[in-house]
Amino acid sequence: MVLDPFAGVGGTLLAAEMCDRRAVGIELDRRWVKIYEEVRKRFGVLDGALVPCGDGARPIEARMECGDCLRALPRIASRSIDLVIADPPYGVGHRQVFRDETNFAMISKDPRDLGNLPDLGAYLERMQAVGREVRRILKDERYFVVLVGDRFMNGEYVPLGTKVAEALREVGFAWKGLKIWWNKSTLRRLRPYAVKMSFAPNITHQNVVILKKTKG
Ligand SMILES: C[S@@+](CC[C@H](N)C(=O)[O-])C[C@H]1O[C@@H](n2cnc3c(N)ncnc32)[C@H](O)[C@@H]1O
């Protein structure tokens, strides 16, 4: 059983279905839940691929609940989940930064949206609160995988993947690995940042932070 507490339009759920795993998602924004429900209606799984319904495909079973994951996670039984994959907002202040630059601006005005928290400290605290719940619902020694991009904020590079990993280590996870994901489909257009004054490379990757629930 795979759980995604920041499920968006359902990438994790669909991938789990394509691998014949059961899955469940939580997503705050009703717009993305609706899109996922539309996909569920129109597509099914056949031989590990998503295909239009009616071609011998089996239905997509994974359900997505609309709500704040910090309210929904406590209702999930302890030690009932095999893997948690989370793709939370990448830090705070998305509304300004991502508005014009991306094709994947999943931003909202909801104060419960982690991307709308006042600063990075509040964001990391909220991620730890999510981490505590994730630790409780995971079976022993299972994995919590967090996709998170680094950021450029206030004139400096912020290694958000590392910061999230360190914050989650404090609430009972061991950091087992890091994969760098160059995802062409969500790539932001390259921009000339601060030409002539200084060099600020574009951030073109996301981190896949791999954590394991510690014993005890
Ligand atoms: C980077 S996107 C996830 C994209 C997702 N992987 C997909 O396949 O579409 C982050 C998501 O977290 C959601 N989110 C932010 N705060 C949340 C919260 N407190 N509870 C649940 N979802 C939240 C946002 O609405 C957004 O859709």
- What confidence tens digit (pLDDT) does each residue in 128-154 have? 999 999 999 999 999 999 999 999 888
Query: Which residues in the chain come in under a pLDDT of 70?
Result: 95-104, 186-188, 194-195
Please give the pLDDT value at position 106: 81
Distance, CA 200 to ligand 1 centroid (Å)?
Answer: 28
10: CA distance to ligand 1 center in Å? 10
Question: Comparing C-alpha atoms, which of 140, 123, 153, 171 is closest to residue 6?
Answer: 123
Pocket of ligand 1 (CB under 6 A): 6, 8-11, 26-29, 32, 68-70, 87-89, 106, 108, 112-114
- Residue 193's CB is within 10 A of a number of other CB atoms, namely 13
Kindly report, residue by residue over 34-67, the tens digit of the pLDDT.
999 999 999 999 999 999 998 799 999 999 999 9
- Is the alpha carbon torsion for 139, 141, 144, 145 positive or negative? negative
Domain 2-213 in CATH 3.30.450.20? The answer is no
Cα separation of 70 and 126, whole Å?
9
Distance (Å, rounded) from C-alpha 144 to C-alpha 211?
Answer: 5
* pLDDT for the residue numbered 203: 86
Q: What atom in ligand 1 is closest to the CA of residue 130?
A: 19
What pLDDT score does 119 carry?
Answer: 95
**How much is the pLDDT for 100?**
52
**Which residue out of 113, 123, 207 has the highest number of ligand 1 atoms within 8 Å of its CB and is therefore the one to mutate?**
113
How high is the pLDDT of residue 52? Answer: 94
CA-proximal residue: ligand 1, atom 19 (nearest)? 68
Greatest alpha-carbon span in the chain: 59
The pLDDT score that the predictor gives to residue 147 is 97
Mutate-to-test residue for ligand 1 from 2, 3, 6, highest number of ligand atoms within 8 A of CB? 6
- Residue 74, SS3 per DSSP: helix
Segments making up each domain of the chain, as ranges: 2-213
| Dihedral sign, Cα of residue 160, residue 166, residue 167, residue 171 | positive
If you measure from the C-alpha of residue 46 to the centroid of ligand 1, how many angstroms do you get, rounded to a whole number? 27
Q: How many whole angstroms from 64 Cα to the centroid of ligand 1? A: 12
